[in-house]
A and B are shown apart, each in its own frame.
Chain A
Amino acid sequence: MTLDDTDRRILNRMQEDLPLCSAPFAAVATELGLTESDLLTRLQAMKDTGVITRFGPFFDAAAMGGAFCLCAMAVPADQFDAVLTKVNAHPEVAHNYERTHRLNMWFVLATETPEGITTTADAIEGETGITVHRFPKLQEFYIGFRVAA
């Protein structure tokens, strides 16, 4: 879909925290000078077309007693799809990217316990026969994540 200026304003605003009230979209619509129904229609269109991959709470697994860990694997090209199916089948794999490097599959594990990282990464190694390199964060320098639309 082609985003117009209103869509871009919506996207910039919606990457920030939504007010916690009964009618949060009406509140944001007022901020942006839109009607609630126009805002909801545009958000639904952006979700349907994949401009927005998800809308809702961002959970911090660590604050819940769990953990996140960035992992990487060097997957041979001829096994890539088969390994991908095995990796993505784990619900602990929160996102996964193909990248240009010998380590070509990079994914984040989000688990309910710190031990869950080891359990899941070991399981993936067992299923695929490929080392799962683990890169847990030691320090976080910025957690912006927002992109200007």
Chain B
Amino acid sequence: MTHQVSDRDIITALQAGLPLVPAPYAAVAEGLGIDEADLMTRIAAMKSSGVIRRIAAAPNHYKLGMIANGMTVWDVDDARITELGAIIGALPFVTHSYERPRALPDWPYNLFAMVHGSSDAEVEEKRNQIAAILGDACRGRDILYSTRILKKTGLRLRKKEA
């Protein structure tokens, strides 16, 4: 019989990542004081509910030669953003795309599409493809290149007071 652990305990045990050992769930379960099978059942439930999207590797784009990373931003007609956003989001070179609120007057853009490439020229060429699709529904655009990763840890829960 194993004691009760909360989802929060499980997330805390997993947030730094899974150990790269042959039986990673057994290793994490041991740390939590529960059975491997119980932990896997709990993780399966968290995947079903969407709390865990997937268990996978997060790569460093820069180290893969994807040194150009452009956050393209667009001021798109609100009446057409859902239709056009779906088209932009489906482009193979767009890794993620969102509608976000504008912050007028400083920030008129409401569509964000992240474009990765091996050079700035490649990213610019892809950006022009997006511009062609948006056509006259687009009233303004910009691109922000990332020059440094300042932090990349993923979700971290704050420690609860004992």
C-alpha gap A47/B43 in the complex (Å): 23
Per the 8 Å Cβ criterion, residues 66-80 of B in contact with A are: 66, 71
Per the 8 Å Cβ criterion, residues 79-136 of A in contact with B are: 84, 88, 91-103, 105-107, 110, 112, 133-136
C-alpha gap A141/B52 in the complex (Å): 19
Contact A18 B90, beta carbon cutoff 8 Å: no
Interface residues on chain A, number (Cβ under 8 Å) = 73
A interface majority secondary structure: mixed
B interface majority secondary structure: mixed
C-alpha gap A18/B86 in the complex (Å): 28
Say yes or no for B3: interface residue by CB 8 A criterion.
Answer: no
Assuming the A-B contacts A20-B47, A50-B60, A145-B96, are A56 and B18 also in contact, with contact meaning beta carbons closer than 8 angstroms in the complex? yes
Contact A98 B148, beta carbon cutoff 8 Å: yes
Which chain A residues lie closer than 8 Å to B36 at the CB level?
A: 22
Which chain B residues lie closer than 8 Å to A101 at the CB level?
A: 142, 144
Say yes or no for B31: interface residue by CB 8 A criterion.
Answer: no
Interface residues on B, range: 35 or more
A40 touches which one: B22, B55, B58 (CB < 8 A)? B22
Contact B17 A135, beta carbon cutoff 8 Å: no
- B1-21 Cβ-contact flags toward A at 8 Å (1 or 0): 000000100010011111011
Contact B60 A52, beta carbon cutoff 8 Å: yes
Contact A147 B66, beta carbon cutoff 8 Å: yes
Which chain B residues lie closer than 8 Å to A32 at the CB level?
A: none
The 4 closest A-B pairs by CB, nearest first: A141-B89, A142-B89, A56-B17, A63-B50
19 A-B interface contacts by CB (under 8 A): A15-B56, A18-B54, A21-B40, A23-B22, A25-B24, A40-B21, A43-B57, A53-B60, A57-B18, A64-B11, A64-B51, A88-B150, A97-B148, A98-B150, A138-B99, A138-B110, A139-B85, A141-B88, A142-B89
